[in-house]
Amino acid sequence: MARLTFRRRQSVFRWVVLGLLGVFFVLPLVAMVEFTTRGDQKTWSTLVDWPQLSETYPDLADGIVMSLGQAALTAVLMLVLLVPTAIWVRLRLPGLRRLVEFLCLLPLTIPAIVLVVGLAPVYAWVNYLIGGSSLTLTFAYTILVLPYAYRSIDAGLSAIDVRTLAEAARSLGASWFTVITRVVLPNIRSAVLSAAFLTVALVLGEFTIASLLNRTNLQVAINLLGKSSATMSVAVSLAALLLAFVLLLLLSLVGDRRKKAS
């Protein structure tokens, strides 16, 4: 029975590949757990005890706070900048769509390390105008997340017939502001949500720009910590990774729901 052997062979192949690669991918995670629980160190109990953590590792605590701030601010700035523009261009300026898309995807071809080189003089002005807080990294991060956020929002807009929706609302007497906030936005809610999730995940993992512009965030702090306390830095890495896991899993759930809805 030729078909049956074929299917059985496929199944064997599947489990061999999944098994071998599975070990490769799970091993570092297991190793991190083992590494941070060796001996009777108090690594994990310190990590969950915020007052003690900020006292023992002030740089780390500072980095965590900064990263959370950057993530929140970047998500907000990205949404404010991108969502109205994407909708407006689709509705009223279709001729500009290619240009907007090109600009949004451009950061993909400009490595972060290259962007830093060019950002240095720009940030000299930022320093001069609003100071050198690590939260100013938000400006650079908004550019960094542009391609991912744009794709998500664009996919959301493609899934609905924006034009017809808008024409229907306009014919019922809605202003353009109402069209955008009351008609289009509710229909791309999950796309906007996934863009925000992605933004947060990306910002929490950013190291290049923060480190080279001499600012701090979670990743910079972990790297710094690695030089003095390897165990703690591995523990924080694992925690950060798990957080990213949860965020991106939520993201894929949102995506699934969207697929089912459409």
Structure letter (DSSP) for residue 214 = T
Among the listed residues 71, 70, 51, the one whose alpha carbon sits nearest the alpha carbon of residue 133 = 70
- Whole-angstrom Cα distance, residue 29 to residue 41? 19
Residues 159-188 within binding reach of other proteins (CB under 8 A) = none
Burial 123-161 (b: 16+ CB within 10 A, else e): beebeeeeeeebbbbbbbbbbbbbbbbbbbbbebbebee
Residues 26-45 within binding reach of other proteins (CB under 8 A) = 27-32, 34-36
For other proteins, the closer CB: 108 or 172: 108
Binding mask 62-81 for other proteins (x = CB under 8 A): -------------------x
For other proteins, the closer CB: 1 or 51: 1
Binding mask 231-250 for other proteins (x = CB under 8 A): --xx--xx-xx--xx--xx-
Residues 120-159 within binding reach of other proteins (CB under 8 A) = 120-122, 139-140, 142-143, 146
Among the listed residues 147, 249, 260, the one whose alpha carbon sits nearest the alpha carbon of residue 197 = 249
Q: Does 252 bind other proteins (CB under 8 A)?
A: yes
For other proteins, the closer CB: 72 or 103: 103
Q: Does 17 bind other proteins (CB under 8 A)?
A: yes
Residue type (1 letter), 190: S
